[in-house]
Amino acid sequence: MAERSMSKLSSEPLLEVTDLAKHFDVSKPWLARKIEGAQKQILKAVDGLEFKINQGQTFSLVGESGCGKSTVAKLVVGLHKPSRGVIKFEGRNVADAHSRADSAALRRRWQMIFQDPYASLNPRWRVRDIIAEPIRVFGLVKSRDEQIDKVGALLTQVGLSPVDGEKYPHEFSGGQRQRISIARALSSNPEFLVCDEPTSALDVSVQAQILNLMKDLQKEFGLTYLFISHNLAVVYHLSDKIGVMYLGRLCEVAAAKDLFTRPQHPYTRLLLETIPDLEMTGRERVPVAGEVPNPINPPPGCAFHPRCPFANDRCRSEAPTPTERSGHIVACHAAEEGRLPDATFQAPKQPVAS
């Protein structure tokens, strides 16, 4: 840390996650289990995740539905308690903040933007109260007038009008609601925003507006983002670094451009194959074979081996460990042994957020 702080601001890790795991007990109730003689069932939603996010940068997690991306988001903001592992915010272990004052001081510095703009705003509250909630909870303003001013400024910042504060959420469209969500997240002046698929419930044109807004805000306030998405094209234009998740583990972490042009892991390649592209219309596509296996009972060895065209016996029995290879962190035996054919991809051309 000491020698790192000499270098420029953006290289200092704001968030550092080591060996993060979340296991859910999904067994039947005790009595039913005893009668049927069933075993306890543990769902390993997240299992041994490691990543760092530098200040002012965007780290994205991508992966198919059910791979545990949203669980990571919830773990980071403290909605779930990790089963194992350490989350460090500015080098301090988050789990050490026991007292109310300590945890409030930490919670003030991060915020979350949610996926469903129709569920993330309390339908019975006026927009101004929704946005002011973090301000009130952290006691950031002294008077009611100051609070009204601040809410008005936030609404303007996200492209709405201060008079919109008087309305209720149902009077707004999905995109406008997501703007309100962003205003609420910004109201406590956080440094770190966790965005759990903030655009997946919006239609494409509105997605672009919201992504642009998020980019602008990042520039203006120097925000750091943890961005969760299943949409690779969205992720490309927003991220500095990308982590690809499969069944609760990271299979590849690399800088955005690198990951898109020189993917190492077979799963990353498979995902890139599926990005729709106007120029490539009509080309032969390799269909994505198979489905995500059941995380309660994951395949032995590398979890991706049943769908991997390069799997061999080692892949079927031994789980790969993430290792650094030409700037990528990859967890794959085939990549390690050099069994993979070279593959280069073209990065998505049209900026999605334009």
Partner 1 sequence: MSDNPLGTTRPENLLHRILDSDIFYSFIRSPVTVVSAIVAAIFFFAAAFAPWVAPHNPFDPATLDLMDAFTPPAWEADGTPNFPLGTDDQGRDILSTIIYGSRVSLIVGFSAVLFSMVIGVGLGLLAGYLSGWVETIVMRMADVQLTIPAILVALMIDGVAHILLPIHLRDEMAIYVLILAIGISDWPRYARVTRGATLVERNKEYVSAARVIGVHPVKIMLSHVLPNVMGPVLVLATIGLALAVITEATLSFLGVGVPPTQPSLGTLIRVGNNFLFSGEWWITLFPSLALVTLVLSVNLLGDWLRDALNPKLR
Q: Identify the CA nearest to 44 among candidates 244, 266, 329, 303.
A: 303
CB-wise, 166 or 313, nearer to partner 1? 166
Residue reference for tokens 């890139």: 272
Least Å distance, CB 258 to partner 1, is: 32
Least Å distance, CB 222 to partner 1, is: 21
CB-wise, 53 or 340, nearer to partner 1? 53
Q: Residues near 222 by Cβ (< 8 Å), separated by ≥ 6? A: 9, 55, 56, 191
CB-wise, 185 or 254, nearer to partner 1? 185
Least Å distance, CB 347 to partner 1, is: 32
Least Å distance, CB 103 to partner 1, is: 6
- Binding residues for partner 1 (CB under 8 A): 74, 77-79, 100, 103-104, 107-108, 110-112, 114-116, 119-124, 130, 133-134, 137-138, 161, 163, 166, 181, 184, 188
Least Å distance, CB 317 to partner 1, is: 39
Report the distance separating Cα 32 and Cα 34, nearest Å: 6
Angle among Cα 115, 192, 322 to the nearest 5 degrees reads 85
Least Å distance, CB 160 to partner 1, is: 11
CB-wise, 66 or 78, nearer to partner 1? 78
CB-wise, 109 or 262, nearer to partner 1? 109
CB-wise, 128 or 265, nearer to partner 1? 128
* 170-208 core/surface letters (b: 16 or more CB in 10 A; e: else): eebebbbbbbbbbbbbbbbebbbbbbbbbbebbeeebbb
Tokens of 184: 């609420």
